[in-house]
Structure 1
């Protein structure tokens, strides 16, 4: 059978279109937040789900599934063991995930999942309750130097997690000699750790600005330092940085999504494109502004390479501060 050049072109174009849409999400799309409600991963899932629906990138609303435990390890294990080929499962991730992978605390490696894309970056904060005896970063650091065990910290990660690493980075820069003497109390998520600080059970909180925004607005938390290279714009411009107070410490926390390692290539391409579209949308850009997220977007292969490099850097850092053997 012979075809005209126009007919052949039509066939090729139709084939490309079919390939481009070989995967379409079904009616049940879930986003797994490996934390309790109220934390950063929960925020990522709920925000992404809302905008995906508004942009008609999913046929129905996205359900958020909270699965806390072991700083994300429980969720990671669930993905690998129970849903490794689920083309409709998004998983909230962040710098904290990379830190746990660097320490070997997940039942797998960064190569066992598919890295989809980032959706902005948050900056870490060191905060205390409004009634704390420590009203400045210098006061807190002085207490850490004189008696490290007297200053207890908490955050949404375990020992060696990103929230903990931010405290140790600050302590090392400040000249605290006994880093292991600083007490870190792990929590099941950012929301519960903030509650511990507000209740006076823990001295200070190490987490991220968006995670604590509501408690800052209500006045229940006082930020001693933002771990950004310079002051933020907008409503948080009055918050001091650690850098301006003489401590050269920054702590950016990117937020994004990964998916199970066994998903189809068509599904991976669909979701990478979908997250690219979401990030570029006016709706997401406004949401980032409203929530205090800074612009930061990588996707697909570029994101995969970035995570691999960050895990390596964190692993080296953990060795430097004694969390891993040399």
Structure 2
């Protein structure tokens, strides 16, 4: 009788234990259980902001993710300020995601204003788009071509103010000084002023606080359409479509260089396996929806999807490219 009771008791304990384990596992699979935030580590109006809002809108509109997704702008240091928070304070927060592009690699590899945190301090979830850089002036600017700008810098570097929506040594800066470097000028002599986001850089240009800006090609189309600006050249290998279809490439302007701006979404470094798997599945579904394709077309982006594994491998390759570029420009740490 005692033996039988012991067996029953142990069986009961085991059943309770299994039920508890099952409940724990089940709870982890219930992700998400609350609202999700996607952070654009810049001001409003730039590529990160537009990408984050396109993801949130598509996910919310299609109900692919039933919990509401909100977008927060956290500018500072060309993305470096929030990156420090994301890599430390938010390292285990399954409900905080971030949109990033090459500055994630650049800020970690450049000499000045270096960020100790890079892509290895995140969990890459997917690459979603690719874009290119653009050299832009006001519609009434005296500069008619990219060569006009380079010749003015060559004659008197202090006479031309180049602005961008990222910190010195970061993406907009590299896009802006790359033509100067290839033209045989010392990139260190180019007068560069940084703003927190592409929208602020455009405002500086229109307000007369900059002569030229380097920015994302996709975000400038609306200003071209309104007649406020002219794009002198883009960093793609071939001409783009839409409002920029008549704009020459760097190569056409005699500058043997190109620069691709990828954009992707990242989770924190210690994101749970359940959350990672969930986002991988949902992002793969999202890029196939008509709503996402409409966002791609409306923003003038090129679709380029890589899943988590392929994106991570791509980042490893791009990290080497960035180091080579910064080294050539004398900006590598």
**SS in structure 2 opposite 1:82?**
coil
Aligned-partner Cα distance in 1 for 2:216–2:302? 12
Instruction: Check the 8 A contact 1:46/1:64 in 2, yes or no.
Output: yes
Aligned-partner Cα distance in 1 for 2:242–2:210? 30
Instruction: In structure 1, list runs of 5 or more residues that go unmatched.
Output: 1-14
**SS in structure 2 opposite 1:54?**
helix
Aligned-partner Cα distance in 1 for 2:204–2:55? 28
Instruction: Indicate which of 231, 234, 237 corresponds to 1:229.
Output: 237
Aligned-partner Cα distance in 1 for 2:204–2:47? 17
Is 1:134 equivalent to 2:143 in the alignment?
yes
Is 1:68 equivalent to 2:75 in the alignment?
yes
**SS in structure 1 opposite 2:65?**
coil
Number of aligned residue pairs: give it: 307
Partner of 1:11: none
RMSD of Structure 2 on Structure 1 (CA)? 1.8
Query: Counterparts in 2 of 1:80-99, with a 5 A limit?
Result: 80-99=87-106
Which ranges of 4 or more aligned residues in structure 1 deviate by more than 4 Å?
none
Partner of 1:220: 228
| Residues 35/127 of structure 1: CA separation in 2 closer, same or farther (3 Å cut) | same
Give 1:23 shift: 4.6
Is 1:46 equivalent to 2:46 in the alignment?
no
Higher mean C-alpha deviation, range 233-242 or range 303-312 = 233-242
Give 1:278 shift: 1.0
Instruction: Indicate which of 149, 158, 181 corresponds to 1:172.
Output: 181
Partner of 2:12: none
Aligned-partner Cα distance in 1 for 2:213–2:289? 33
Instruction: In structure 2, list runs of 5 or more residues that go unmatched.
Output: 1-21
Higher CA-based Rg: 2
Partner of 1:9: none
Alignment TM-score, normalising by the size of structure 1: 0.89
Partner of 1:240: 248
Alignment TM-score, normalising by the size of structure 2: 0.87
**SS in structure 1 opposite 2:86?**
helix
Partner of 2:170: 161
Aligned-partner Cα distance in 2 for 1:161–1:78? 19
Instruction: Check the 8 A contact 2:225/2:243 in 1, yes or no.
Output: no
Give 1:22 shift: 2.1
Give 1:286 shift: 2.1
